[in-house]
Structure 1
Amino acid sequence: MMNIANMGQRFVRASLMIAFGAALAGCSGGGDAPPAKPPLEGARIGGPFTLTDQNGKTVRDTDFAGKYRLVYFGYSFCPDICPVDLQKLMRGLSQFEKIDAARGAKVVPMFITVDPARDTPEALKPFVARYHPRLLGLTGTPEQIAAVAKAYVVTYNKVPGSAPDRYLMAHSQLAFLMDPAGKPVALLPLDDPSSDIDEGAPAAVAAELAKWVK
């Protein structure tokens, strides 16, 4: 992704956090404190979708009723940002699974492409397998992708490259945690690409999952 795209992504992410009134931080102490309110509670994010997974199977949002969903938009041809983000997110999920296997199993991780022209099921299958054994790679028609991206307030556009098939996709850099009813709970922390992939960032993701997944 390009620098101008990164600036836009950070603005969108910051705006969402401000608009819904919470920083993504751990619980404060105090046994008598009321339960924390999800930062994105009541936000108009998410909705019905019909897409295709990396095995060519039709997938609908209703297939995940009763499960939490970790949703990230990107594309497999991304040279830097998406792979780093996925490492942080999926290592964080793996840490959470080790801490609490039962609650970890309630989280369905999803990677939704913003580049359906190149991200066919065949292209997504080896890509998502690199990051987590349960990571779903979802694609669809341009119209289907446009609809689900709009529902998740994700923007994207093609950035021409040196050849017709060597373009980049600028897109919002956001990772959503959705509840078992498909309602938004929180944005998962995504730091700059230079942050520690092995320790700090995954730990922050694991802590956020532990805070909200019941």
Structure 2
Amino acid sequence: MRNMQTEHERRKKVGNRIILLVIFIAVVLGYIGFVLASHGGPKMLVQSNGNEIGGSFRLNSLGESTVTEGDFHGTWMLVWFFDPRCPKDQCQPVLKSMETAKAALHAKGIRVSALAVSLDMDAVDNDALKDYVIPIAPHVMPFTASPNMLKAMTTEYHAPFEKVGGHYVQAPQIVVMNPDSRYAGMIAADGDADALTAQIQKFAAR
């Protein structure tokens, strides 16, 4: 009986050591991944995943939670880059058209996730970003990201990342990714909700 207890304790100790070793390796690998992502350039932060345009990302919601492209899998994803310091008559019509298109497509059974990515997380706080987007486009999701992520993401999504007149230039197009996270196409960000709705319907009918 004594020998059985000793063997059981020995196995328990070995098991605990293995668990601790696995945790240690995971922490080390996670740290290495963080360092590589931070210093390895845009391709380490955003990957195309085989897409001509678009790809992976990590964004911060207004509630400070982190989202990735995988969170929107199964929906048509609209991605538009803008600066909430942009004059309202230039940028808010685009947000409104995304809101209108999302509602119209939902009524037709087409699920859409509309993402509005702020190009400057330092100059505008979450409350200002929320006040700029939500009153006119309550179902368009505003996001922020680190400067490195924004630089990498705008490169992959073919959007400008430059300042003119005190604010970042808004993207001239909305990038559309299909429910399988594959690039579907670009649509002009001109505030035309009917055109946006019709084009996504065409994509969905392919």
TM-score (norm 2): 0.67
C-alpha contact 1:89 1:202 (8 A) present in aligned 2:
yes
- Cα distance in 2, alignment partners of residues 44 and 212 from structure 1: 16
Q: Which residue of 1 aligns with 2:133?
A: 128
Aligned ranges for residues 33-182 of structure 1 at < 5 Å? 44-79=52-87, 80-98=89-107, 100=108, 102-103=109-110, 106-159=111-164, 167-182=166-181
Q: Which residue of 1 aligns with 2:189?
A: 190
Of structures 1 and 2, the one with the larger relative CO (CA 8 A, separation 6+) is: 1
Q: Which residue of 2 aligns with 1:209?
A: 200
Q: How far has the Cα of 1:97 moved from its partner?
A: 2.7
Q: Secondary structure at the match of 2:180?
A: coil
Percent of pairs with identical residues: 25
TM-score (norm 1): 0.65
- Cα distance in 2, alignment partners of residues 127 and 170 from structure 1: 16
Runs of 4 or more off by more than 4 Å in structure 1?
Answer: none
C-alpha contact 2:75 2:178 (8 A) present in aligned 1:
yes
- Cα distance in 1, alignment partners of residues 114 and 79 from structure 2: 6
- Cα distance in 1, alignment partners of residues 162 and 78 from structure 2: 23
- Cα distance in 2, alignment partners of residues 190 and 158 from structure 1: 18
Q: How far has the Cα of 1:43 moved from its partner?
A: 5.4
Q: How far has the Cα of 1:52 moved from its partner?
A: 0.3
Q: Deviations over 1:27-77 (max 9, x none)?
A: xxxxxxxxxxxxxxx852111111101222111111112221011111111
Which structure has greater helix proportion?
2
C-alpha contact 1:119 1:139 (8 A) present in aligned 2:
no
Ranges in structure 1 where 5+ consecutive residues have no aligned partner: 1-41, 162-166, 192-196
